[in-house]
């Protein structure tokens, strides 16, 4: 009995040991399986991570093209807004048949087209009329009278200055330059020593002295289409006119009131740009007859420099002013580009 109990005890110990060993083996297998699964998952995650960018990377890769697209869009929009007024070389598309834009201080020509073409200049003539009057040093307080000889019989143009009007020479000069009054310009020549023939001779002599090779005058008003010049010559003529303080003042006066037969009458400048706060104009003169088309010459301060703008034979009522505005925008945009380029290069070392 004792031996039997001993055997049974030994068998119990064997069985319990085997079960414990099996539990340990199973647990080990489960742990190994879990580790293998974790390793497999980790390996899969690593492969996914390598094949796909992180969230930050995805955000960066999305935003970067977006910024470039926005920049390109802005550039395209900016180009589209400028393109209609620009040619392939970035110069303004002007609609005047002949023109020249020059830096008065240096003489450098910035832009030109048909600048040597000899064309009728209409009332641009009056700048020369004013120079001849002032060169003669005639009294500006002398009273001049508008006569029937001053009436336009060539083209039948109207005037706000009736026959019989009496005004000082200074007011006649002002009206001729500011409002392009033909009767005032005619009276100035008629009251010159020697009359109109002597006055026209003095005009042509002055043209020669200024080196105007393509310029000829037949009257003091510009109604005669034989009054001709070129854009190149007119740059010189405007430059010369800018040396006369009264021409600068009278040609850029926005409006002026005179007494005509006891009644006040306001006269306005034929160039609306002289009233614009965006322009600083030193000399201005417009002109028009059928043969010349719309004309405009100016000395204006642009980029803090005196620039001379000559626009001849502009088709349409507003073309000459629109062309002047295109020139201004072009010069200012060029200056902006230069400043941007200088800033990009950084300070000099």
Write the DSSP assignment of 207-223 as a string of letters. Answer: HHHTT-TT-B-S-SSS-
Q: Is 180 an active-site residue? A: yes
Where residue 339 falls among pLDDT bands split at 50, 70, 90? low
Annotated binding site: 285
Where residue 257 falls among pLDDT bands split at 50, 70, 90? very high
Most confident stretch, 39-48, 81-90, 233-242: 233-242
Higher pLDDT, 337 or 230: 230
96-345 in CATH: which number?
3.40.710.10
Q: Which one of 126, 236, 294, 328 is the catalytic residue?
A: 126
Beta-carbon neighbour count of residue 72 at 10 Å?
Answer: 10
Instruction: Return the closest-CA partner of residue 147 out of 166, 169, 164.
Output: 164
Percent of the chain exceeding pLDDT 70 equals: 71
Q: Is 51 an active-site residue? A: no
Q: Which one of 96, 179, 180, 229 is the catalytic residue?
A: 180
Annotated binding site for substrate: 285
Q: What would the two tokens of residue 52 be?
A: 């796909």
Question: pTM of this prediction?
Answer: 0.73
Q: Which one of 115, 123, 179, 220 is the catalytic residue?
A: 123
Q: What is the mean pLDDT of the chain?
A: 80
Helices 169-178 and 125-135, packing angle to 10 deg: 160
Instruction: Return the closest-CA partner of residue 132 out of 213, 204, 184.
Output: 204
């Amino acid at each position: 009995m004792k031996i039997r109990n001993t055997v049974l005890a030994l068998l119990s110990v064997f069985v319990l040991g085997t079960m414990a060993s099996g539990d340990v083996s199973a647990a080990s297998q489960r742990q190994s399986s879990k580790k293998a699964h974790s390793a497999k998952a980790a390996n899969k995650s690593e492969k996914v991570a390598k094949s796909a960018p992180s969230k930050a990377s995805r955000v960066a890769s999305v935003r970067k093209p977006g910024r470039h697209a926005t920049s390109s869009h802005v550039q395209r929009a900016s180009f589209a807004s400028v393109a209609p007024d620009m040619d392939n070389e970035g110069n303004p598309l002007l609609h005047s048949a002949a023109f020249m834009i020059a830096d008065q201080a240096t003489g450098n020509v910035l832009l030109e087209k048909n600048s040597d073409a000899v064309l009728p200049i209409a009332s641009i003539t009056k700048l020369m009329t004013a120079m001849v009057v002032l060169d003669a040093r005639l009294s500006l307080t002398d009273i001049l009278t508008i006569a029937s000889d001053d009436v336009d019989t060539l083209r039948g143009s109207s005037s706000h200055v009736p026959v019989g009007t009496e005004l000082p020479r200074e007011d006649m000069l002002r009206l001729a330059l500011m409002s392009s009054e033909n009767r005032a310009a005619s009276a100035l020549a008629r009251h010159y020593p020697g009359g109109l023939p002597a006055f026209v001779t003095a005009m042509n002599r002055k043209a020669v002295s200024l080196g105007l090779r393509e310029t000829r005058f037949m009257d003091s008003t510009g109604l005669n289409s034989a009054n001709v010049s070129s854009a190149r010559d007119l740059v010189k003529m405007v430059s010369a006119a800018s040396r006369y303080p009264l021409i600068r003042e009278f040609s850029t006066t926005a409006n002026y009131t005179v007494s005509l037969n006891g009644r006040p009458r306001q006269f306005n400048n034929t160039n609306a740009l002289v009233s614009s706060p965006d322009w600083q104009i030193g000399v201005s003169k417009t002109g028009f007859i059928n043969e010349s088309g719309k004309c405009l010459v100016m000395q204006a301060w642009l980029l803090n420099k005196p620039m001379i703008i000559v626009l001849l034979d502009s088709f349409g009522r507003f073309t000459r002013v629109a062309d002047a505005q295109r020139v201004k925008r072009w010069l200012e945009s060029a200056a902006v580009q230069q400043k941007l380029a200088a800033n990009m290069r950084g300070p000099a070392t």
